[in-house]
Amino acid sequence: MPKADRPDQPNAASRFSEEAQTYAVRGADAPDFETGVAAIRNVLKTLPHKPGVYRMHDARGDVLYVGKARALKNRVNNYVQIDRLPNRLRRMVALTRSMTIVTTNSEAEALLLEAQLIKRYRPAYNVLLRDDKSFPFILLRADHTFPRIQKHRGARRHKGQYYGPFASAGSVNQTLNALEKLFLLRSCSDSFFNNRDRPCLLYQIKRCSAPCVGRISAEDYGELVRDAKSFLDGKSSGVQARLANDMEAASADLDFERAAMLRDRLKALTFIQGSQAINAQGVGDADIFALAHRNGVMGIQAFFIRGGQNWGHRSFFPAHVAELSEEEVFTSFLAQFYEDVPPAKCILLDRSLGEAELLAQALSERAERKIEISAPQRGDRVRLVKQAKRNAEEALDRRLAESTTQGRLLQEVADLFDLPEPPKRIEIYDNSHIQGTNALGAMVVAGPEGFIKGQYRKFNIKQAATDDDFAMMREVMARRFGRLMAEDANTERDENWPDLVLIDGGKGQLSSVMEVVRELGVEDVAFIGVAKGPHHGREGREVFHFPDGREITLPVNAPVLFYLQRLRDEAHRFAIGAHRAKRAKGITASPLDEVPGIGPARKKALLMHFGTARAVRSASLEDLQKAPGVSAAVAQTVHDFYHGSR
C-alpha cells in the first residue's frame, strides 16, 4: 500500500556500532584447519551469550561469511567441531583468520543486520541475491498545487505517496500510461510546467488535462488526484461506478464530447483491470513467493499484489546455494530481498519456514506495522501460490536450458584456446581516447552466468603516452596483474584470477601485453588478441591471435564466434561510455579545482567577482582579498598556489 514519504530508516550497522566488538587472530597465510580453528577458539574465549552477527575474514581481511545467532557463543562454537561440519563450511573454517562480532538487542535485529552486511560484502560462503537492482515505484508528488505522477527509483527524497514495488520498468510504464489516460494527471517536470503557454501534445491525445495553461481548475484537478489515489489503493470499483454515472449524465445532457472522453477513460480502466496476469481480487496487498529446485540450481518467483492488482512478477536465482537446504536459501533470500523493498502486510509462501515468525517480527519492526508471513492451505491464496510455483518451475526450466547452452559455448571456448577446462572467469580489455585525450583502459568480466557488471573496472592512464595504444595497454596490464600478484603472493589464487584474457587488438597489442605479464611472472592464464580481419567492414572476419604466433578465424555462423564478439563488443561499449563520462567531466572542470581548500561556494564567489579562472590566477593578493565571501586566509592560499609562497 502507499506510504507517505518519511526519512529513511537509520542504517542498521550504525544502530549497533556502540556494542560492536572486534576479535582478530592473524595466523599463517596457508589455508589449514589448525590455524582457522585457533582463530575461532581465541574469539570464543570472550564471546557473550547474546544475540548478534559475526563475520569471518580470510588472511587478507576479506569477508568469507556473515551469520547471525540467538546466542553468539553457542553458534560460533559449532565451527570448531570440524567433524560435524559439511565440506563447504570446512573449507571456510580453513580459510578463516579473524572474526568481527556485533552484538544486538534481539535475534530479529541480528537478522536484519545480517541481511544488510551480506548485501554490502557479498561473501563467498553466503547465499547471495544476484538481482539486487532497486525496484521501480510510482510516485504521486505532494509538493505542488497540481501534483505530478512519475516513475521513481532510489531514495525517497520527494514528498508524496509511493506505490510499489513494481516488478519491472515495463510494469510501471504500462500502469503509468493507463493512469495518464484514465486520470489525465501531468507527468512533466516543474520547469516544463512553469514555462508552457499552450498545451503540449499529451493534452491533444487526451493523456493530460493541461493544468499548465489553466484548462482545468485546481479543484477539479484535485478530484482527479483523489480518484488516482483510490485506484492505486485498490478501490477501482468506486472510481469505475462514478465514471459510469458521469458518462450517463453527460450523455443525458447531450454533452457528447464529455461523454466520449469519459467513455475512453472507462475503457482505459477496463483495460488495466483486464490485463492482469493473475486474478488477485480480494487479496489486498501481498507478496507471493515460490521456490523451485533442480540440478543444484534454485529459482524463486515473486508476485507483487497491491490493492488486488498484479503489479508484475520477477524471477530470482540466488548464488552460492550448493550444499544448502531449500529452507536456508529461502530464508536468506527473503531477508536480503526486504533489505531495500518495503514488504506488503501479507507475505505468502509455498512452504512453511522454521524462521518465518522471526522474519515476520524483524520486518514488522522495520516497517513499523504488522507483517504476516504464512503458507496458505486453502482458498484463493492457495491458487495464487500454486500459480507462483508453476511460474518458478517454468523460469527454472528456461534458466537450465540457457545454462546448458552457455556451458556448451564455454566448452567450445576452452577447446578453441587450448584451455584445460571451461573458463570460470573471462576478462576482456579495451582502450579509449580521442587523439590522446581523456585516455583510459576498460575491463569487463564474464562468467558461466553472463557478464559480472559489479566487477567491471576502468583504468585512468597515468604514465603511458596516451597516443600510444600499446603503451596504454601495457600500463593497464601492469596495474591489474601487478595488484593480483601482490595480493596473492602468499596464498592460493582466488576467484579474482581470470582463466582467459581477451585483448581488443591484433598481434602488436598482444605482444606488448605478453611482455608485461612475463615480467610479472604470470602463468596459467591464457591471453588472446581479438582483431578485425583484413576487411574491417565485414562482420564475422575476426582474427584470434595466440601468444605463440598462431592465428585462427572461425566460420561466420559459428555460435562461439557470436559469443566472443559479444564479449568484445561489451568491452568496447564500456570503454566508450567511461571515456565519454570522463570527457564530459573534463569539459566542466575549472583550474580552480586544483587549489586546495577551495570548495564550490568559494570557487563560485571568485569566478563571479573576476569573471574567469585566468583573471583569478593573475590577480594580486589585495584584489583576491576584496572578493566577497573570500577570507584573507583563503585569498593567501589562492595567491600562494599560483605565485608561490614567500
Of the candidate CATH numbers 2.30.110.10, 3.30.70.2740, 3.10.20.30, 3.30.420.340, the domain formed by 426-586 belongs to 3.30.420.340
CB 57 within 8 Å of CB 97: yes
The string of pLDDT tens digits covering residues 212-223 is: 998 899 888 988
- Yes or no: is domain 3-121 CATH 3.40.1440.10? yes
| Cα end-to-end distance, the chain, whole Å | 67
Mean pLDDT lowest among 11-15, 405-409, 537-541, 544-548: 11-15
Calculate ∠ Cα 202-206-211, nearest 5°: 65
Question: 10 Å Cβ neighbour count for 259?
Answer: 18
Q: In this predicted structure, what is the pLDDT of residue 534?
A: 60
Question: 10 Å Cβ neighbour count for 491?
Answer: 14
Between these two residues, 390 and 557, which has the higher pLDDT value? 390
Instruction: Measure the CA dihedral 327/333/336/338, to 10°.
Output: -100
CB 23 within 8 Å of CB 44: no
3-state secondary structure 478-545: HHHHHHHHHHCCCCCCCCCCCCEEEEECCHHHHHHHHHHHHHHCCCCCEEEEEECCCCCCCCCCCEEE
For residue 584, is pLDDT > 50?
yes
For residue 540, is pLDDT > 70?
no
Q: Which three cell numbers stand for residue 426?
A: 573471462
Between these two residues, 300 and 614, which has the higher pLDDT value? 300
The string of pLDDT tens digits covering residues 4-46 is: 444 344 444 444 443 344 444 433 344 468 889 999 999 998 8
**Cα–Cα distance between 563 and 574 in angstroms, integer?**
17
Q: In this predicted structure, what is the pLDDT of residue 433?
A: 62
Question: Looking at residues 168-176, what average pLDDT do you find?
Answer: 79
**Cα–Cα distance between 382 and 378 in angstroms, integer?**
5
Between these two residues, 479 and 602, which has the higher pLDDT value? 479
Residue 296 burial (10 A CB sphere; 0-12, 13-18, 19+): exposed
Fold of 591-643: DNA polymerase; domain 1 (1.10.150)
Question: Looking at residues 485-502, what average pLDDT do you find?
Answer: 76
For residue 427, is pLDDT > 60?
yes
41 SS3 class: helix
Count of alpha carbons within 13 angstroms of residue 557, beta-carbon side: 0
Band of residue 177 on the pLDDT scale cut at 50, 70, 90 = confident
**Cα–Cα distance between 259 and 184 in angstroms, integer?**
15
User: Does the model's pTM come out above 0.95?
Assistant: no
Question: Looking at residues 368-395, what average pLDDT do you find?
Answer: 89
Q: Which three cell numbers stand for residue 325?
A: 537446504
Calculate ∠ Cα 474-475-481, nearest 5°: 85
Q: Provide the residue ranges of all domains of the chain, joining segments of one domain with +.
A: 3-121, 137-274, 286-300+315-397, 426-586, 591-643
Q: For residue 444, give the nearest of 546, 573, 313 by alpha carbon.
A: 573
